[in-house]
Amino acid sequence: MRGKGANIAGVLPLFMLFIAGGISAFEDIEKLRIWPLPAEVSRGGRRMILTGDFKLVTEGSKYGDPSGILKEGFDRMLGIVKLSHVISGDQNSSGSTGSALLEGLIVIISSSTDELEYGADESYKLVVASGDKPSYAQIEAKNVYGALHGLQTFSQLCHFNVKKKIIEILMTPWNITDHPRFSYRGLLIDTSRHYLPLPIIKNVIDSMTYAKLNVLHWHIVDTQSFPLEIPSYPKLWNGAYSSSQRYTFEDAGEIVNYARRRGIHVLAEIDVPGHALSWGKGYPALWPSKDCQEPLDVSSDFTFNLIDGILSDFSKIFKFKFVHLGGDEVNTTCWSATPRIAQWLKKHRMSEAEAYQYFVLRAQKIALSHGYEIINWEETFNNFGSKLNPKTVVHNWLGTGVVERVTKSGFRCIVSNQDKWYLDHIDAPWQGFYANEPFQEIKDKKQQSLVLGGEVCMWGEHIDASDIQQTIWPRAAAAAERLWTPYAKLAKNPNKVTTRLAHFRCLLDQRGVAAAPLAGGGRVAPLEPGSCLAQ
């Protein structure tokens, strides 16, 4: 099973990693305390104090903020900067230190649209303080979503002065030029194995923005439950665990909109033809038989009419250019074991394997008819890669070598190899997440261009609302830097970023995200009393 976890294994405490890494763990670049590491950074030696009425200025920007995305992002940024302490000092005076005052942030955006487009320019430039207006910081970006990344980086520069009880920025002037290495930087959540309430999903989305992840892969339904309302086929959510563990169609739209306003795409998945037993709770005709309930009935037009209805409804709210159609772990024995389907196979001169191919390709055509490009799990490529639609993106999860074969065949690819980027493998330490390279051994530039990026997967067999965040973080952050930061700037030895990642983990905790200690695998408890920075 994809989501099967493992037992926690012992890992060296953090202070032992410092020793193992030697003095290089404290090299100058790690003093930046920014995660993920920007492409280019320079800094000075002065400090500036944020004034109490620190404000957003957009003069000179082509972006009019018609729906308030930038203003909301600015307000959220100020909110998280001020979240962990009461600001009671005089923020409008430089005092005896001679520190300069920072009165506001100028944001200049060159695009007037706020449409969230996959592959759009997410770069930004951040200067603290501006050369033209030395009492202001400045962000320049191509679009509002690049500016939101700039706001996240700005928030990490802010520091609470415990003695003066004010917010300040150290080591000014800062000059940061930044852009992502990969256009697809994903996190999968699974709401079939365990239902996740809306506030939890929103909290996950917020935490993704802190690490500059930009795709929430929503594995909505699976064998265990079907929690989503589908207006075209209203009995489908009879497969939910209970009436209170369901998402209305409007709930799904709310999640998509909440994510969009934060620069995050929502990738919806229906995993067909396997992993679909719960569909038959409302429509038993989808089952091969009462006693053999998975995969979906390949012989019935009703099966494909229903998939068409789902994707038609999806197209009204899930506006990401891709839809995920699954296609993995398909045990086709039910088809041959069911007499009427066996007869259909015989009539159409299909083997079980050929029927699997027929199902996947027919589902792909339906998705394409609704304007989607398709993502499928890698088994589809492994079994009949040459037959897949050219617009297919192959999602690697099983093993090594697949990415090279996929891209050599001209298909795009997303990397989620389970031995490194499966968050439910709670014995997997963060170092493996950091070191996992999407290009693997690919040297050809054309093949590299077909690797869209990667995704860490939070399968839900053993997580729910009570423990999802500490299972995701901080290991997902290690993968996030791999996907954002230029390859040349990445540490060859993951232990060299321990100090900076520990700081980011503490920052997540301060922002209300339950991030687990570094010294272990997933969701480990602290080994002993001590500083957040040393765990």
Active site residues: 329
Name the 3-class secondary structure at 71.
helix
**Sign of the torsion angle spanned by Cα atoms 520, 523, 528, 530:** positive
Whose CA is closest to 117, among 73, 183, 177, 64? 183
Q: What is the dihedral of CA 262, 265, 266, 269, to 10 degrees?
A: -160
Name the 3-class secondary structure at 195.
coil
CA 342 to chain centre: 41
Counting beta carbons within 10 angstroms of the beta carbon of residue 62, is it exposed (0 to 12), middle (13 to 18) or buried (19 or more)?
exposed
Q: What is the dihedral of CA 461, 463, 465, 470, to 10 degrees?
A: -160
H/E element, 106 = strand 100-109
Prior bond of 180 cis (ω within 30°): no
Hey, which bits of 163-240 come out as E strands? 166-172, 174-178, 184-190, 215-219
Name the 3-class secondary structure at 436.
coil
The per-residue b/e assignment along 450-474, b for 16 or more CB within 10 angstroms, e otherwise, is: bbbbbbbbbbbebbeeebbbbbbbb
Residue with tokens 């993995």: 328
Asked if residue 284 lies in contact with residue 302, where contact means CB atoms within 8 angstroms, the answer is: no
Asked if residue 403 lies in contact with residue 438, where contact means CB atoms within 8 angstroms, the answer is: yes
Question: Residues near 107 by Cβ (< 8 Å), separated by ≥ 6?
Answer: 56, 57, 58, 61, 70, 74, 138, 139, 141, 147, 150
Hey, which bits of 350-422 come out as E strands? 373-377, 393-396, 412-415
Question: Residues near 470 by Cβ (< 8 Å), separated by ≥ 6?
Answer: 514, 515, 516, 522, 523
